[in-house]
Amino acid sequence: MTKNLFSVMLFAFIGGCLRSLCSQVWGGFWGTIMVNLIGSFLLAFLTYRTIVKSYLASWLNLGLCTGLVGSFTTFGTFSLQSVQLLQQSFLAGVGFMALNLLGGFLLAVLGFRLAMKINRRTGND
């Protein structure tokens, strides 16, 4: 239990710092889009490359996925920015939501496929 909690806390700290850095590099709306797309890819890739195959200890998997990816991505900011954009321009709001949702789904599929391809090449399918 303590190992799990510490792992989530440590990786959440790292993910939050990375999230802040991305906001500074890409700015408000683009920063949100980028972290959500990267996070979608990472979560799918990590899940199918390391977790399903039990390559890492469970406390490390928990820290990486729940802590790192969970604090790196941002549903709350996505929701708030969606409402703000919808109030300014319906088209901009819908475009922002589509980029996050459809893009996230497509990158999750890409992460899954890449993990499965690596698993097959390494004989761990």
| 56 phi-psi bin (left φ>0, alpha ψ -120 to 50, beta other) | beta
Give the C-alpha separation, 51 to 96, whole Å.
31
pLDDT in tens, the chain (125 residues): 799 999 999 999 999 999 999 999 999 899 999 999 999 999 999 998 887 777 888 899 999 999 999 999 988 999 999 999 999 999 999 999 999 999 999 999 999 999 999 988 887 65
pTM of the model: 0.88
Half-sphere exposure of 110 (CA within 13 A, CB side): 12
Q: Could you tell me if 76 and 18 are in contact, meaning their C-beta atoms sit under 8 angstroms apart?
A: no
CB atoms within 10 A of CB 19: 19
